[in-house]
A and B are shown apart, each in its own frame.
Chain A
Amino acid sequence: MTMRRLTTCSLLYGASVLLAASAVLAQEHGYTPADIENGSRLYQSSCAGCHGPTGDMVPGIDLMRGQFRRGSTDTEIIRIIQTGIPGTTMPPSSFSDTQAGTIVAYLRSLAPASGRAGAGGDVPRSDIVKGKALFDGKADCAACHRVNGNGPRVAPDLSDIGAIRQAKELHEKLLDPNALVRPGNLFLEAVTKNGETITGRVLNQDTFSIQLLDSHERLRSLSRSALRDYRFVKSSPMPSYRDKLSAEEMNDLVAYLVSLKGLRP
C-alpha cells in the first residue's frame, strides 16, 4: 500500500520563508556522476513515496527545481534528510552524511540552474538577445505565447520554460511540436449541438463540464450535455521550425527560452 493519502506528507515543508536561492549559489560541494546516480537510487526508493518521482507531489514543494522551505545549503538539507521535521510527516532517516549528500547531489543535478536544464549561464548574452528577436519576429512565437505578462494566452505561457525544460527538450519541441506535450497543454475540439465548433486549450474538466480557453482567448465553460461531440487534438497547433530556422537561429532561440526562469520572489 503506497501513497494512500498525502495530506501532510512533506519533506522540507513548513511555514518558513521560501528560499528560492540559485541552486548554483547554494551548491557547496562538487559532485561526481556516481554521486548523482547513487542519490537517484536513494531518492526513488526512500523519498519518492511521499514526494513523488518528480519531487513535486507535496503542495508548495518542488524538490527538483531547488524550491526548499527549510533550508538552502547542502548542509542544511542533509541535516533535514537525517533528522526529519518534527511535527510533520517528514521522518528522520538513518542516512549517513555521504548518503544524504548524494540525494542532495541528485536534486541539485535536476535543478534548472545546474546546467541540466540548458546552457544557462554559459550562453553569451548576445545569443539570448538574438533569440528574443527571433521569438518576437521571424519565428513569430509571440503571436501565440505569452512571456512575463506580455502576449496572448492561446498557447502555453513560457515565462518559466527555462526552469521546467532542458535545452535538449526545447530543441526537440521546436523540430517536432507533437513531442512532449505536457499535461495541461492539451487542445480540445468540441462541436456543440448548435453546430458551433470550438477549439481551445483545456484548463479543467469534470464529469459534467469542460473549461477551455478558445482561439479568441475567451474562457469558455461547456456543459458536456450541450456537446454533440468532442475530442482531444493529438497534434499540436504549433508549427515545426525544422525548415524555418537555421541551426544557429535555433540555438539562439533555445538560448532565449532557457533564459526564461519565471518571475520569482
Chain B
Amino acid sequence: MYSPPFSPLARVCCGRVNRGLAILGDTLFMGTIDGHLIAIDAKNGKPIWDVALSKPELGYSLTMAPLIVKDKVIMGPAGGEYGIRGFIAAFDAKTGREAWRFNTVPAPGDPGHETWPASSNAWEHGGGSIWVTGSYDPELNLMYFGTGNPGPDWNADPRPGDNLYTDSVVALNPDTGRLAWHYQFTPHDEFDYDSTQVPVLADLAWQGRTRKVMLWANRNGFWYVLDRSNGQFLQGKPFVRVNWAEGIDEKGKPKRVLNASPEGTLVYPNNQGATNWYSPSYSPRTGLFYIPSWMDTYSTYTKGPVEYKEGNQYVGRFPTMTVPALRTGPGAINTRTPQEGWGAIQAFDPKTAELKWQFKMTDVTDSGVLTTASDLVFAGGREGHFFALDARTGAQLWTGSVGGQVSAGPMSYAVAGRQYVAIAAGSALFVYALRQ
C-alpha cells in the first residue's frame, strides 16, 4: 500500500476525489489532491519520482486519471473555482521531467488571448481546469481534452470576451503539446458548463463518406458531432430542455439568449448540467450514441460581487438548484416532482440526430454507460439500481439492487473465457457474470 501525505494547504472544490491511475510497463502514475504527480513501482508500491505541478494553496489539485501516450504521462489540474489558470502538461514517464505545457488560457501575445480583456489580468485567473482524462487517436496522433469553466464561474463581468480555451475541446499533438485545433462549446460561460466530459471517438458514414468524428454530450445541454481530424463542426442538437441558447448556428456557435442577472435568471439545464463526467458510449453495432442525461433541471443564476483573493473561491454567487449535485448522507430520499428534474439514459442516432429511445428514471444519474457487442447497455443511478437495457430498444432486461448510489462507469472484462461486468456502488464493488 502506498499512501502519499496530504498537504493541509490544499484547496479542493467539489470533493476530495481521485478518478484513477495510469500504468505503463511496471510503473503506476497517480495525481494527488495537493497537486503532485507521482510514479510508483507497481511491484512494490515504492515511489519512483514525485513532481509538484503547481501550488496547492492556490487551488491547483489533481483529480483526473493520468493519460499515457507513448513515453509521456499527460496531466492537468482541477481548481477552476479558485481562480487557477489551467494547463495540460506532459512528463517523461521514466524521469518525471516536464516535456511541454499547454496553457488552457493563453497569455498576452498568444493566439486566443484576444478573447480576454486586454485591460486587466483576468486571464491569470481564467480557469479552464482539466478534471477528466482525454482520449487519444493514435492514427491522427492527436489527443483530445475537455476544459472546465472560466473563472469566476457565475459573474462574467471581469472577463468580457469568449474566454478561450475554457469550456472547449482542445486537440493537441502529444509529442509537442502543439494545438492542432479547438472548438468552444460555451463561449463566455456564466452557468458553470464545464466541458469535462469524455470525448467519444467514432468512425461514421457521414453524408456519403466515412468520417473520423468525435461525439460529445455536453454539460450545456447540447450534443455534438465534430470532425476530429480538423475540428469542423458537423452538428449540435439539444438532448434535454435548454433555454439559454436557441440552437447552434452553422459555424457551431450557440445562439445565446440568456445571461446571469442581478435579479436572477432561470436557466435550463441546471448548474450541474445536462450530463457531466459520467462516460457516454457509442456502439458501432447499433450506430447509436448513449447519454446519461439530467432531464428538465434548472437553476437560478444571480449575479453577485466577486473579487480574486489568493486561496479563496473565485466564483460569484452560488446558483439555486432543485436537484442536488450528489446525494448527501444516507437515505437517498427522493420526493421531487418530475418538473424539478429527473434522469434518463437516451439513445441518439448521430446521422439523423433522432432520439431512438429513452429509459426514464425518477432520479438523475451520475453513472457512466457501457455498451457491449451483445447489444446490451449497462448503467445505474442514484436509486441503488444497476441495470441492463436492450441497446436497440431501451427495454429493461435485468435489474440488480446494489444498495448504494452508482456514480461510476461500468466495466467489462473476460477471465478464462468468462465475461464479467463490474460496477462500483456506494463503497462496494459488484461483479456479475452469467451462471455456468
| Chain A, Cβ-Cβ closest to B193 | A1
Contact at A41–B304, with CB atoms within 8 Å? yes
Contact at A3–B272, with CB atoms within 8 Å? yes
Q: A95 vs B313: C-alpha distance in the bound complex, in angstroms? A: 11
Q: Is B15 positioned at the interface, with any CB of A under 8 Å from its CB?
A: yes
Chain A residue numbers with a CB within 8 Å of B309 are: 94
Contact at A84–B383, with CB atoms within 8 Å? no
Contact at B11–A1, with CB atoms within 8 Å? no
Q: Is A44 positioned at the interface, with any CB of B under 8 Å from its CB?
A: yes
Contact at B14–A183, with CB atoms within 8 Å? no
Contact at B12–A91, with CB atoms within 8 Å? yes
Q: Is A89 positioned at the interface, with any CB of B under 8 Å from its CB?
A: yes
Contact at A49–B15, with CB atoms within 8 Å? no
Q: A37 vs B272: C-alpha distance in the bound complex, in angstroms? A: 27
Contact at A6–B325, with CB atoms within 8 Å? yes
Contact at B337–A1, with CB atoms within 8 Å? no
A binding-site residues for B, Cβ under 8 Å: 1-9, 41, 44-46, 48-50, 52-53, 57-60, 84, 86, 89, 91-95, 183-186, 202-208, 232
Apart from the given pairs A4-B17, A49-B315, 13 other A-B contacts in the complex at a CB distance below 8 Å: A2-B13, A2-B81, A5-B14, A5-B325, A6-B326, A7-B17, A7-B326, A52-B324, A60-B329, A91-B11, A94-B309, A183-B336, A204-B335
Q: A6 vs B271: C-alpha distance in the bound complex, in angstroms? A: 15
Q: Which of B192, B305, B334 contacts A206 (CB 8 A)?
A: B334
Q: Is B80 positioned at the interface, with any CB of A under 8 Å from its CB?
A: yes
Given A4-B325, A59-B329, A205-B334, answer yes or no on A49-B16 (Cβ-Cβ < 8 Å). Answer: no
Q: Is B378 positioned at the interface, with any CB of A under 8 Å from its CB?
A: no
Q: Which of B310, B329, B335 contacts A205 (CB 8 A)?
A: B335
How many A-B residue pairs have C-beta atoms within 8 angstroms? Tell me. Answer: 152
Majority-rule SS of A interface residues = loop
Q: A186 vs B338: C-alpha distance in the bound complex, in angstroms? A: 12
Q: A240 vs B317: C-alpha distance in the bound complex, in angstroms? A: 36
Q: A92 vs B384: C-alpha distance in the bound complex, in angstroms? A: 35
Chain B residue numbers with a CB within 8 Å of A2 are: 13-14, 81, 149, 153, 192, 271, 315, 325
Majority-rule SS of B interface residues = loop
* A102 CB to nearest chain B CB (Å): 13
Contact residues, B351-384 vs A (CB, 8 A): 360-363, 381, 383-384
| Chain A, Cβ-Cβ closest to B127 | A1
- Per-residue A-contact encoding for B312-332, CB less than 8 Å = 1, 0 else: 110111111000111011101
Q: Which of B196, B335, B385 contacts A202 (CB 8 A)?
A: B335
Contact at B78–A1, with CB atoms within 8 Å? yes
* A230 CB to nearest chain B CB (Å): 11
Q: Return 21 A-B CB contacts under 8 Å, by A number.
A: A4-B276, A5-B407, A6-B14, A8-B15, A41-B304, A41-B317, A44-B318, A46-B313, A46-B315, A53-B319, A53-B320, A57-B325, A58-B328, A84-B8, A93-B311, A203-B333, A204-B332, A206-B362, A206-B383, A206-B384, A207-B360
Q: Is B422 positioned at the interface, with any CB of A under 8 Å from its CB?
A: no
Contact at B14–A203, with CB atoms within 8 Å? no
Chain B residue numbers with a CB within 8 Å of A60 are: 329
Contact at B313–A49, with CB atoms within 8 Å? yes
Chain B residue numbers with a CB within 8 Å of A202 are: 335
| Chain B, Cβ-Cβ closest to A86 | B8
Given A49-B318, A205-B362, answer yes or no on A4-B277 (Cβ-Cβ < 8 Å). Answer: yes
Q: Is B199 positioned at the interface, with any CB of A under 8 Å from its CB?
A: no
* B128 CB to nearest chain A CB (Å): 11
- Per-residue A-contact encoding for B165-194, CB less than 8 Å = 1, 0 else: 000000000000000000000000000101
Chain A residue numbers with a CB within 8 Å of B315 are: 2, 45-46, 49
Chain B residue numbers with a CB within 8 Å of A9 are: 12, 14-16
Q: Is B10 positioned at the interface, with any CB of A under 8 Å from its CB?
A: yes
| Chain A, Cβ-Cβ closest to B407 | A5
Chain B residue numbers with a CB within 8 Å of A58 are: 328
Chain B residue numbers with a CB within 8 Å of A49 are: 13-14, 81, 313, 315, 318
Chain A residue numbers with a CB within 8 Å of B330 are: 59
Contact at B333–A204, with CB atoms within 8 Å? yes
Most buried by A among B272, B318, B334: B318
| Chain A, Cβ-Cβ closest to B339 | A232
Contact at A7–B383, with CB atoms within 8 Å? no
Q: Is B289 positioned at the interface, with any CB of A under 8 Å from its CB?
A: no
Contact at B17–A203, with CB atoms within 8 Å? no
Contact at A41–B305, with CB atoms within 8 Å? yes
Q: Which of A3, A59, A92 contacts B14 (CB 8 A)?
A: A3
* A36 CB to nearest chain B CB (Å): 15
Q: Is B131 positioned at the interface, with any CB of A under 8 Å from its CB?
A: yes
| Top 4 A-B pairs, shortest CB-CB distance | A5-B15, A59-B329, A3-B325, A48-B318
- Per-residue A-contact encoding for B238-281, CB less than 8 Å = 1, 0 else: 00000000000000000000000000000000011000110000
Contact at A186–B192, with CB atoms within 8 Å? no
